[in-house]
Structure 1
Amino acid sequence: MPPLLDTRPTALAVDEWRAREAAYQRRMDSWLEPHRQRRRDGVAHPVLDFLFTYYSETPGRLRRWHPGLGTALAGTAARERLDWPMYAEVAATTPDGDPVPAVGLDRPAFLAKRRDAAAWIEGLLAATAGRPAQFGCFGLHEWAMLYRPGAGEVRHEQLPLRLGQDGTDAVVEQHRVQCSHIDAFRFFTQAARPRNTLTPTRETQPQLEQPGCLHATMDLYKWAYKLSPAVPGELLADCFALASDVRELDMRASPYDLSAAGYEPVAIETPAGKAQYVAAQRGFATRGGDLRQRLLTVCRDLLGTDGASTVGW
């Protein structure tokens, strides 16, 4: 077991961490408040609900700002966090190096409960970062989820299809389907599965996941909240923002007609639509690459590793 880091966390003064907390909450409320209002009104959103249903983090937990590993909170106001999971009194230092009592991440408790999970996440992120991005899928995973559906396989029945069922089936049949992500592939219809060039499984995820994949990019948000409260709130918010942007492209490039919800289609069945999709996908891969490295740093600081060897892969 690697030794705990000897570096003491840096304590933030009350005014500083309260300001960061407030800024984070304002940022997250731009997504959380509309979601809560829709939920109160009983109104579903065909694009954004995914961020709160497929992903398991609750709005209440999302609104909690954390300083993350290596930073602690000074002042008596921070003591309320001693009732939060994975927080404890820690020996910290001021930015000038003076010792000061503070409240921060309980790293030994975190590792006792989540070491294996953090090592798994580190392995997956490192494996994904270590291979080139692929940009030839054109979002066909969403089409394959609707290809010649059998009983019980129709998704989002309330949403109309831009090209109808026959047109949707034809797009799948006219393209090479090459989805590498297990959590997209597992929703393919039975008829679509044999058409995929790969057969992703949970066991092969580290061998197949690649940084151009929209679902791998959205999942950076999942890994960020799975590592909470070791991940700084600002990094979590950056991952959520990227997931929200990617989700929009994912659905605009899908077979669904979302014009009633204000979304123009990315018609990937056309050359222009393909070019539009790939351009956006490349931008997301660049943003995701930066966030993936920041998450890897958190994992390696937690585990006391340097990336030279990765547990489990």
Structure 2
Amino acid sequence: MPVHLLSPEVWSERERAHQERVDAATAAHRARRRSDRTHPIEDFLFTYYSHRPAQLRRWHPGAGIALEGAHREWKFYAEAGGASYVDVAEFVRERGDAVRFVRDLLGATLARPAHLGCFGLHEWAMVYRLDEDQVRHAGWPLRLGSAGTDQVVESHTVRCSHYDAFRFFTPPARPLNTLVPQRDSQVAMEQPGCLHAGMDVYKWAYKLTPVVPSELVMDCFDLAREIRQLDMEAAPYDLSELGVQPVRIETAEGKAAYVRRQRRHAERGQVLRGRLLAVCESVLEYAA
């Protein structure tokens, strides 16, 4: 793979800018963690996903770039001629199966139109027929109460295509889903309108560290954070204490508002998938 050499002045500025960006994005989460507080929306990217703020803060230039004068004793890095760079061949030898899976998943999702008619009902199906003290975010009341929440689920068509959302459905909600997503059908079923699929672009980006540039990882993080906001605004919980205004998907106006934002997120997600797919294809081509 051709290597572009960055001078210390250039790469140190990029590293500094990335660290400042991460520090700003994670400041509230880090403060809550020190005081043992939680937030049902903002902490999701650090509790559901496994990438910690310190890992996110570590800047990587990505495949094909060497850092003049840098010394990186990190996994998958090599040094030559006084410069550090990502050893793409070593990365593909160890992580090639993961790269190929991500390539296939992203490519398949990019090729599909977005389905925009789910209205975020996956969060409602996760609490269907549960008492309020049994739900995942038990510290927050259900906006319509248990009976009202169940009625919303029963009066809509539930069409969740994402396995990692579907697996949290309550047992009585599972038969109501018109699809049966499985882990081994993920490539066949993933579609760009799905909020969880959009958030997962961040997961695929950080799992391919360090061949993915950290700036791209953070672009995916920012989108995932915005999607999570919509995800919980449209959820059945009453989060007004946090200043969260609900997207009332049980109404026609709420559905329309949800779809408008869902479409924008889907479009941005497709752009990021294209950028990440290009990284996958380039590293696999180099190692072929």
TM-score (norm: length of structure 1)? 0.89
Name the counterpart of 1:208.
Answer: 189
Structure 2 letter corresponding to 1:122:
R
Query: Would the aligned equivalents of 1:87 and 1:104 in 2 still touch at CA under 8 Å?
Result: yes
Task: Measure how far apart 1:154 and its partner are.
Answer: 2.4
Name the counterpart of 2:279.
Answer: 298
Distance across 2 between alignment mates of 1:300 and 1:164:
48
Task: Measure how far apart 1:43 and its partner are.
Answer: 0.8
Task: Measure how far apart 1:72 and its partner are.
Answer: 1.4
Tell me the number of residue pairs that the alignment of Structure 1 and Structure 2 aligns: 286
Structure 1: gaps spanning 5 or more residues:
1-6, 91-99, 306-313
Name the counterpart of 2:121.
Answer: 140
RMSD (CA atoms): 1.4
Distance across 1 between alignment mates of 2:178 and 2:2:
49
Distance across 2 between alignment mates of 1:115 and 1:151:
44
Give the SS at the match of 1:146. Answer: coil
Query: Would the aligned equivalents of 2:130 and 2:146 in 1 still touch at CA under 8 Å?
Result: no
Structure 2: gaps spanning 5 or more residues:
none
Distance across 1 between alignment mates of 2:42 and 2:14:
26
What CA deviation, in whole Å up to 9, does each residue of 1:192-240 have, x standing for no partner?
Answer: 0000000000011111100010000000000000000000011000000
Task: Measure how far apart 1:107 and its partner are.
Answer: 1.1
Distance across 2 between alignment mates of 1:50 and 1:278:
22
Name the counterpart of 1:88.
Answer: 78
Give the SS at the match of 1:73. Answer: strand
- Structure 1 moving runs of 4+ over 6 Å: none
Name the counterpart of 2:18.
Answer: 24
Query: Would the aligned equivalents of 2:132 and 2:141 in 1 still touch at CA under 8 Å?
Result: no
Distance across 2 between alignment mates of 1:153 and 1:207:
33
Name the counterpart of 1:270.
Answer: 251
Structure 2 letter corresponding to 1:163:
L
TM-score (norm: length of structure 2)? 0.97
Task: Measure how far apart 1:152 and its partner are.
Answer: 9.4
Structure 2 letter corresponding to 1:88:
A
Distance across 2 between alignment mates of 1:30 and 1:151:
35
* From 7, 14, 19, the counterpart of 1:13: 7
Counterparts of 1:275-290 in structure 2, within 5 Å, are 275-290=256-271
Is 1:59 the equivalent of 2:49?
no
Q: Which has the higher helix share?
A: 2
Distance across 2 between alignment mates of 1:300 and 1:46:
36
Structure 1 letter corresponding to 2:29:
H
